[in-house]
């Protein structure tokens, strides 16, 4: 386990860098997690992160790539709900990295 320090607060992470406690998530935590991944969050990233958090609130799970792409396409349209767009935003691992940055558990069927 490791920890992330955000605003003088220690946030516990699992061995893969996901939050141990979902309630520890905040925009500042997301930005700090993104910085660890050498990623600057843009408005496009935030749009997906907010959508993922809504998905989790509704279904209590983090979607794998295919359901994530379909959900984004349903909510934001096919120009954003496609693998090319999401891979570009999240360094080729959209389901895993976006879930991590959104403060959600690792998708169960992602290696």
Residues noted as catalytic: 110
Q: Name the token pair of 44.
A: 């496009």
d(CA 57, CA 30): 17
Burial 5-33 (b: 16+ CB within 10 A, else e): ebeeeebebeeebbbeeeebbeeebbbbb
d(CA 100, CA 108): 13
């Amino acid at each position: 386990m490791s920890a992330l320090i955000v605003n003088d607060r220690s946030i516990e992470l699992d061995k893969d860098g996901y939050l141990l406690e979902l309630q520890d998530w905040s925009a500042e935590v997301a930005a700090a997690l993104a910085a660890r991944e050498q990623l600057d969050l843009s408005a496009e990233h935030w749009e997906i992160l907010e959508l993922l958090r809504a998905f989790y609130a509704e279904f209590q799970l983090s979607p794998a790539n295919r359901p994530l792409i379909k959900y984004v396409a349903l909510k934001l349209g096919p120009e954003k709900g496609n693998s090319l767009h999401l891979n570009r935003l999240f360094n080729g691992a959209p389901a895993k990295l976006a879930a991590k940055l959104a403060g959600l558990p690792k998708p169960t069927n992602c290696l």
